[in-house]
Amino acid sequence: MDVIRDFDPWRDPLCTCPPKYGFNPYTGCSHKCLYCYITSYIPRAFDCRPKENLLRRVRRDIRRMDKLRVISMSNSSDPYPPIEAKLGLTRSCLETFAEEGCRVLVVTKSDLVKRDVDVLSEMATAVSVTVVTLDKELCRKLEPGAPPAERRLETMRELSEAGIPVSLRLDPLIPGLNDDHVEEIVEAASSCGVSHIVSSTFKPRPDSWRRVVGAFPELRSELAPLYFEKGMRHQNSWYLPLKLRRDLMEKVRKVCDENSITFASCREGFPELSTGRSCDGSHLIP
Mean pLDDT for each 10-residue chunk of the chain (286 residues)?
88 92 98 97 97 98 97 96 98 98 98 98 98 98 98 98 98 98 98 98 98 98 98 96 98 98 97 97 97
pLDDT digits (tens, 9 = 90+) for 100-140: 999 999 999 999 999 999 999 999 999 999 999 999 999 99
pTM above 0.85, yes or no: yes
SS (H, E, C) 197-231: EEEEECCCCHHHHHHHHHHCHHHHHHHHHHHHCCC
CATH of the domain at 196: 3.80.30.30
Q: What confidence score (pLDDT) does residue 9 get?
A: 62
d(CA 128, CA 284): 10
d(CA 135, CA 130): 14
Q: What confidence score (pLDDT) does residue 112 get?
A: 98
Q: What confidence score (pLDDT) does residue 158 get?
A: 98
Q: Are 129 and 166 in contact (CB under 8 A)?
A: yes
The tally of domains found in the chain comes to: 1
Range of the domain at 121: 4-284
